Amino acid sequence: MARALQCGSVVNGLSKLLLATVAVVTAASAVAVLLVPPAPEEGGRRRERLARRLVEQLAEETWNYFHEHGEFPPGDGTGSAGLVRALGRPSRTGAPYVQFSREMLTPDGDLRNPVAPRNCIIHYRRNPEAAGLDSVARNLGTFDLWGLSQDGRPDGINNWD
């Protein structure tokens, strides 16, 4: 019986050691997932998803602005400062259409592109319905929003695809 108790103690001790090892490995894995930065490819895809969501949100709020003001915000495609100023103003509810943090904007007031925030911006152009408008416009009579995509296309993220 003493031998059975010893075996039971050894098995109980091994179970505790196994559980402790599993807990340490699980905790270490969780920490690694949270603290280790994603691979560059994953980081690029994540930034591109952020840029796409940003363009979708801007497009939605630009339409809201249009429905309240009867026209789209000004913009010639060289940047997005006019759009930022317009959407930063109060809507009918009293709140701005979009709240832009300082980090989201360049010193010129253009919206940074999450794909490459240090050197790329989101572009906005109001496209009036005009026969003389250049063929670059995609959404005649409304507006175009676009920015660089992860694969380097200058208009890879846009509101016309």
For the chain, what are the domain ranges?
A: 1-32, 41-158
Q: Are the beta carbons of 64 and 100 closer than 8 angstroms?
A: no
The 8 Å CB, 24+ separation contacts for 140-143 are 142/72, 143/59, 143/62, 143/72, 143/73, 143/75
What is the distance between the alpha carbons of residues 64 and 55, in angstroms, rounded to a whole number? 14
pTM exceeds 0.75? no
Residue 39, both tokens: 């691979």
Q: Tokens 């400062």 correspond to what residue?
A: 81
Q: Which DSSP helix (H) or strand (E) runs through 123?
A: strand 123-126
**How does pLDDT run along the chain (161 residues), one tens digit per residue?**
555 545 555 556 666 665 556 555 555 544 444 454 555 556 778 999 999 999 999 999 999 999 999 999 999 999 999 999 999 999 999 999 999 999 999 999 999 999 999 999 999 999 987 655 556 788 889 999 999 999 999 999 999 98
